[in-house]
């Protein structure tokens, strides 16, 4: 004999959506601290860059919401999560290019908006995110924005006799009259 639940389909859908958004915040909370720590640790190599402030703020917001998870209204949780993912998509795309994983955040936002919001709001997010991706792609094509393509690391080089010595390796992109080039330096440290 089947046991029937007294809640109707609409209530079940609300409960499922609430579980999905709460799970998203638990994932955000788990990822927030290591990502903020990674941003802070990069300062020894790159110095303080404005984007690190963004990453730290984006790490704090979900943790605060997670602390008050059952007190924060559903719509606030959904829109905050979507804004966090959209901003990550935009900054990721600006930093690493249109073919980076930033566009995956845009796709994730479209899917989540469709699942967690009503149909009309889902369509708005689809149109908005598609427009964002097109604008970013056009800006990259026109070279209006270029990804920050510079890195510094340490490694070892080998002499002809086989002995190793430590070096600092610096690689960056430069724009010359005949196009974009990669410039690299290895400095004996």
Q: pLDDT tens-digit profile of 9-51?
A: 778 888 889 999 999 889 888 888 887 788 788 777 777 877 7
Report the chain's terminal Cα–Cα distance, integer Å: 77
What residues form DSSP beta bridges with 150?
172
| pLDDT tens-digit map of 125-145 | 778 877 777 777 676 665 544
How far is Cα 155 from Cα 166, in angstroms, rounded to an integer? 6
pLDDT-derived band at 71, boundaries 50, 70, 90: very high
Q: Are 22 and 69 within 8 A, CB to CB?
A: yes
Nearest C-alpha neighbor of 88 from the set 69, 109, 111, 72: 109
Using the predicted structure, report yes or no on whether residue 177 has a pLDDT greater than 50: yes
Q: Name the residue with higher pLDDT: 179 or 32.
A: 32
Structure tokens at 125: 């997010």
Q: Name the residue with higher pLDDT: 124 or 157.
A: 124
How far is Cα 104 from Cα 43, in angstroms, rounded to an integer? 27
pLDDT-derived band at 2, boundaries 50, 70, 90: low
pLDDT of the residue at 142: 57
**Which range has the top average pLDDT, 23-32, 93-102, 145-154, 177-186?**
23-32
Length of the chain: 189
**Structure pTM?**
0.63
């Amino acid at each position: 004999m089947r046991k029937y639940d007294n809640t109707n389909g609409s209530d079940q859908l609300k409960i499922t959506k609430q579980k999905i958004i709460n799970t998203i915040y638990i994932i955000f909370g788990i990822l927030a601290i290591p990502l903020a720590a990674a941003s802070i640790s990069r300062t020894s190599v790159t110095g303080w860059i404005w984007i690190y402030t963004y990453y730290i703020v984006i790490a704090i917001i979900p943790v605060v919401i997670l602390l008050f998870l059952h007190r924060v209204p559903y719509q606030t949780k959904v829109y905050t999560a979507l804004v966090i993912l959209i901003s990550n998509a935009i900054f990721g795309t600006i930093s690493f290019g249109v073919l980076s994983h930033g566009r995956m955040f845009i796709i994730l936002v479209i899917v989540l908006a469709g699942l967690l919001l009503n149909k009309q709001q889902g369509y708005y997010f689809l149109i908005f995110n598609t427009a964002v991706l097109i604008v970013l792609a056009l800006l990259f094509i026109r070279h209006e924005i270029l990804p920050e393509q510079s890195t510094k690391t340490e490694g070892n080089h080998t002499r002809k006799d086989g002995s190793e010595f430590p070096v600092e390796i610096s690689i960056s992109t430069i724009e010359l009259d005949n196009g974009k080039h990669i410039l690299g330096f290895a400095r004996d440290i």
